[in-house]
Chain A
Amino acid sequence: MTGTIDPVAEQTPAFPAARAAGCPFDPPPTVQALRERTRLTRVRLADGSTPWLVTRYDDQRALMADPRISSDVTRPGFPSPSPVRGRPLSFILMDDPEHARLRRMVTAPFAIRRVEAMRPTVQKIVDDLIDEMLAGPRPVDLVQAFALPVPSLVICQLLGVPYADHDFFQDNSRVLINRDVTPEERWVAVDRLSAYLDRLIGEKLDHPEDDLLSSLADRVGKGELTRPEAAQIGVLMLVAGHETTANMIALGTLALLEHPDQLALLRESDDPALVASAVEELLRYLHITHNGRRRVALADIEIAGQVIREGEGVILPNDIANRDPEAFPDPDRLDIRRDARRHVAFGFGPHQCLGQPLARMELQVVYGTLYRRIPTLRLAARLDEIPFKHDGAVYGVYELPVTW
């Protein structure tokens, strides 16, 4: 990097931006303000580049489904949050048809009927962890005692990963999704997880079981996938499968504790439809993936009289789309009775989260069980003492001390 300063970049708002003190559930006010002012604007990233930022719900949704927009992180101009290294890349950083080919290899266990068949297992996991918490000391950190183990146990079972290794993969996942670590630290974590998944794929090749890693190993055996590709997909499934849901459990619980009227509605209802509605609303309201979806234009695209040129980077901060008053009236109010299903917390377009049916079901079981079984659940710290994951690519809380 030379010492020259681009005068345009100097005046351009920085992205990502900080949240306001005392408003841990709201997107950064500077980014929200961009949406109120304009539909399309330049922002400045840490590397000095100035990609476009699309502010409104309708435009974001249309662009995410637009074939003129690419997820290929290797294209010049792609506004990657961190430097990219080596092969194989995750299919979330590729375009169709290669993306679709790889994605369809792992979608079967996330089909609605398959996920519903797992619901009794998830209910048992949740009930057992609550039993343990109730029998243990108070206060307790809800993240370690409950929010992290629930999705980790579930994804381990679905993938065929031994849960006994959870300290190893949780620690490395945390490094992988921290936006403040160096690229080298991130690559070390990726290498450790890849080597671990590669070893498991090798074991499944010899001793297949009824799980997703075994089906990937079977494809390796048939020559449909290379072993590094299979391991890479395994890393993606493992990391995405527990970090996101864990943060929704802990941050969602905190949001409900801070909105006691909404918590009471949820706790006192035995209507599964209200629980499902609460899940959608909390996904909309909290929107934990706060780095913005990253894309690059494959052609000139006009929005509101301005043109995104071919090869220019595009950022779609879905958190501010979920707070767009044109899409969601009174968007800054948490209201578990509203129909929030059209939120973009899982993204939109061909890259929309493939694990969303599993995430929804896990959250329905958790939100429908935890507050009824522990009706006096409350914070054991002040809100301003809670450590939030401002440095995470996935937002949430590092700890949530609770008692009852």
Chain B
Amino acid sequence: MKVTVDQDRCVASGQCVTAAMAVFDQRDEDGVVVLLDPNPSAELAEDVRNAAALCPVMAIMVEE
């Protein structure tokens, strides 16, 4: 699984961090998404898919 994020589009809802804390974090200054792990392991895949589905601006792209 390959993950990319669009920081320009991000609105800092924080839903990705709640869904997959090992993969996503937020910048201190404005809460914008920070990608911790662009190649998450298989056991995190479901959480990452959830994070992408919950993002209100579709700023998380997942390639299976």
Query: A residues engaging B (CB < 8 A)?
Result: 64-65, 100, 103-105, 107-108, 110-113, 115, 341-342, 346-354, 356-357, 360
A352-B11 CB under 8 A given contacts A65-B56, A113-B26: yes
Question: A351 to chain B: which residues have CB within 8 Å?
Answer: 11
Contact partners of B29 in chain A: CB under 8 A? 108
Q: Identify which of B11, B21, B50, B54 gathers the most chain A CB atoms within 10 Å of its CB.
A: B11
Instruction: Check: B31 CB closer than 8 A to any chain A CB.
Output: yes
Given A112-B26, A347-B56, A354–B50 Cβ distance below 8 Å? Answer: no
- Residues of B in contact with A (beta carbons under 8 Å apart): 11-15, 17-19, 21, 25-32, 50, 53-54, 56-58
- The residue on B at minimum CB distance from A352 is B56
Minimal beta-carbon separation of A356 from chain B (angstroms): 6
Inter-chain contact B28/A108, CB cutoff 8 Å: yes
- With A and B bound together, what is the CA distance between A390 and B37 in angstroms? 47
Q: Across the interface, which residues of A come within 8 angstroms of B56, CB to CB?
A: 64-65, 347-350, 352
Q: Give the docked Cα–Cα distance between A115 and B25 (Å).
A: 13
A112/B30 in contact, CB under 8 A: no
- Give the chain A neighbours of B15 by CB distance below 8 A: 356
User: Across the interface, do A111 and B57 meet the contact criterion of CB distance under 8 Å?
Assistant: no
Instruction: Find B12's partner among A64, A111, A341 (CB 8 Å cutoff).
Output: A111
Given known pairs A341-B50, A352-B11, A354-B11, the reply for A112 and B18 (CB within 8 Å) is yes
Give complex CA distance A138, B12 in Å. 43
Indicate which residue in A108, A113, A348, A353 contacts B30 across the interface (CB closer than 8 Å): A108
Contacts A108-B28, A108-B31, A354-B12; A65 near B18 (Cβ below 8 A): no
**Is chain B's binding surface mostly helix, strand, loop or mixed?**
loop
A353 to B53, CA, bound (A): 17
A95 shortest CB reach to chain B, Å: 13
Q: Contacts of A357 on B, CB cut-off 8 Å?
A: 13-14, 18
**Docked-complex contact A107 and B57, CB < 8 angstroms:** no
Q: Are B31 and A350 in contact (CB under 8 A)?
A: no
5 closest A-B pairs by beta carbon, nearest first, are A352-B56, A107-B12, A111-B31, A107-B31, A112-B17
A55 to chain B, nearest CB (A): 20
> Which residues from chain A contact B50 at a C-beta distance below 8 Å?
341
Q: Which of B18, B25, B30 contacts A107 (CB 8 A)?
A: B30
Contacts of A112 in B (CB 8 A): 14, 17-18, 21, 26
Q: Which residues of chain A are within 8 angstroms of B17 by Cβ–Cβ distance?
A: 111-113
A104 to B29, CA, bound (A): 9
> Min CB distance, A342 to chain B, in Å?
7
A341-B19, A352-B13 are known; give 11 further A-B pairs, CB within 8 A. Answer: A65-B58, A104-B30, A107-B31, A108-B31, A111-B17, A350-B56, A354-B11, A354-B12, A354-B13, A357-B13, A357-B18
B14, B15, B32, B53 — which one has the most chain A CB atoms within 10 A of its CB? B14
Cβ-closest chain A residue relative to B28: A108
Residue of B12, B18, B27 with most chain A CB atoms under a 10 A cut-off: B12
Q: Given contacts A65-B58, A341-B50, A357-B18, is CB(A111)–CB(B26) below 8 Å?
A: yes
The one of A100, A105, A341, A354 that contacts B54, using a Cβ cutoff of 8 Å = A341
- Residues of B contacting A107 in the complex (Cβ-Cβ under 8 angstroms): 11-12, 30-32
The residue of chain A having its C-beta at the shortest distance from the C-beta of B11 within the complex is A350
Q: Would you give the shortest CB distance from A353 to chain B, in whole angstroms?
A: 8
Contact yes or no, A103 B14, CB < 8 A:
no
A100 and B57 alpha carbons, distance in the complex (Å): 12
Q: A65-B56, A347-B56, A348-B56 are in contact. Are A110 and B31 (CB under 8 A)?
A: yes
Nearest chain A CB to B38 CB, angstrom units: 20
Structural contact, B11 and A65, CB atoms closer than 8 A: no
